[in-house]
């Protein structure tokens, strides 16, 4: 019989969030595959667990997945953990799960902490529909392109960001998405946990100076119904009418946006869409 592949969630900060089932699983398997053996060893030592550790991260994932599947086929059970949270959520594990499934190996999730879920439920923004987009691209041009792709999704947007990029990302979000309600969640479950709530413009101002610290989740409200339901032709027609009355294009766009309940950036995007 083959072994079982366990995907074990670990705490994202507070060690007391470790589940009893996760502890039992880590004590029972033959091998624990982890991103950083030093980091995971500290976790295991805290709970007095001794186990064989092997590294499993984005740089060796393809090679290591194959060797771990060999062990599973020999009847050795394997647990995969990330440095924090659930493996596979913005962390490695896809390849080994894919290969395990292809080999008929049982895959069992051992659920626990997920940072984006914790941030979303505590944000104060709607949670009836959530879109998780992982990390935004590091370059501004690529980041804005990605934001354009997800701009009209009818769900609360949840994204991961790094401390040194959060200021630039907030500025790009404001430009592309408009001035929506948003929350910057930092260091969830840790000593310095914080939730900064406001609009993208107020948060862009708050985080504009220097870099932040800690793990960051960015939660952004969905596009307003006023924007989502507004046909681009309505705006274009009104702008054309105001220009015919003598206003320049910039002033016409600003006035039309105000009349239709849109931000200027939202109006600009709609007008561009109508021309395309």
Domain boundaries, the chain: 5-110, 115-223, 227-275
Pairing of strands 5-8, 78-81: parallel
CATH (residue range 115-223): 3.30.950.10
pTM score? 0.82
Structure token digits, residue 147: 């934001």
3-class secondary structure, 246: coil
pLDDT of residue 173: 93
Exposure string over 91-114, b if 16+ CB within 10 A, otherwise e? bbbebbbebbeeeebebeebebbb
Residue where the block lists tokens 């595959």? 33
Ordered per-residue pLDDT tens for the chain, 276 residues: 899 999 999 999 999 999 999 999 999 999 999 999 999 999 999 999 999 999 999 899 989 999 999 999 999 999 999 999 999 998 889 999 999 999 999 999 999 999 999 999 999 999 999 999 999 999 999 999 999 999 989 999 999 999 999 999 999 999 888 889 999 999 999 999 999 999 999 999 999 876 678 899 999 999 876 555 556 667 788 888 888 889 888 888 888 877 776 777 777 777 776 666
pLDDT of residue 230: 56
pLDDT of residue 235: 78
State the burial class of residue 233 (Cβ atoms within 10 Å of its Cβ: 0-12, 13-18, 19+).
Answer: exposed
Query: With respect to CATH, is domain 5-110 assigned 3.40.50.300?
Result: no
């Amino acid at each position: 019989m083959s072994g079982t592949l366990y995907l074990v969630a670990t705490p994202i900060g507070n060690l007391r969030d470790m589940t009893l089932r996760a502890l039992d699983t880590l004590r029972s398997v033959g091998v624990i595959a982890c991103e950083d053996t030093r980091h995971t060893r500290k976790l295991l030592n805290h709970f007095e667990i001794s186990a064989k550790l092997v590294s499993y991260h984005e740089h060796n994932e393809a090679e290591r997945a194959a060797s771990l599947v060999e062990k599973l086929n020999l009847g050795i059970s394997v647990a995969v953990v990330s440095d924090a949270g659930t493996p596979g959520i913005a962390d490695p594990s896809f390849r080994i799960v894919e290969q395990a499934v292809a080999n008929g190996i049982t895959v069992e999730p051992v659920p626990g902490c997920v940072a984006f879920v914790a941030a979303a439920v505590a944000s104060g923004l709607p949670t009836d529909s959530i879109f998780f987009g992982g990390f935004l691209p590091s370059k501004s041009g690529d980041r804005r392109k990605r934001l354009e792709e997800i701009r009209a999704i009818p769900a609360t947007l949840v994204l991961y960001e790094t401390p040194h990029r959060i200021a630039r990302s907030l500025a790009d979000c404001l430009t592309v998405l408009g001035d929506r309600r948003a929350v910057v969640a930092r260091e969830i479950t840790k000593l310095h946990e914080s939730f900064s709530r406001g609009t993208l413009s107020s948060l862009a101002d708050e985080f504009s100076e220097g870099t932040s610290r800690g793990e960051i989740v960015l939660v952004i409200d969905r596009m307003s119904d006023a924007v989502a339901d507004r046909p681009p032709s309505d705006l274009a027609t009104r702008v054309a009418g105001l220009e015919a009355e003598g206003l320049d294009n910039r002033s016409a766009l600003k006035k039309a946006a105000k009349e239709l309940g849109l931000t200027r950036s939202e109006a600009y995007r709609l007008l561009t869409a109508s021309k395309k």
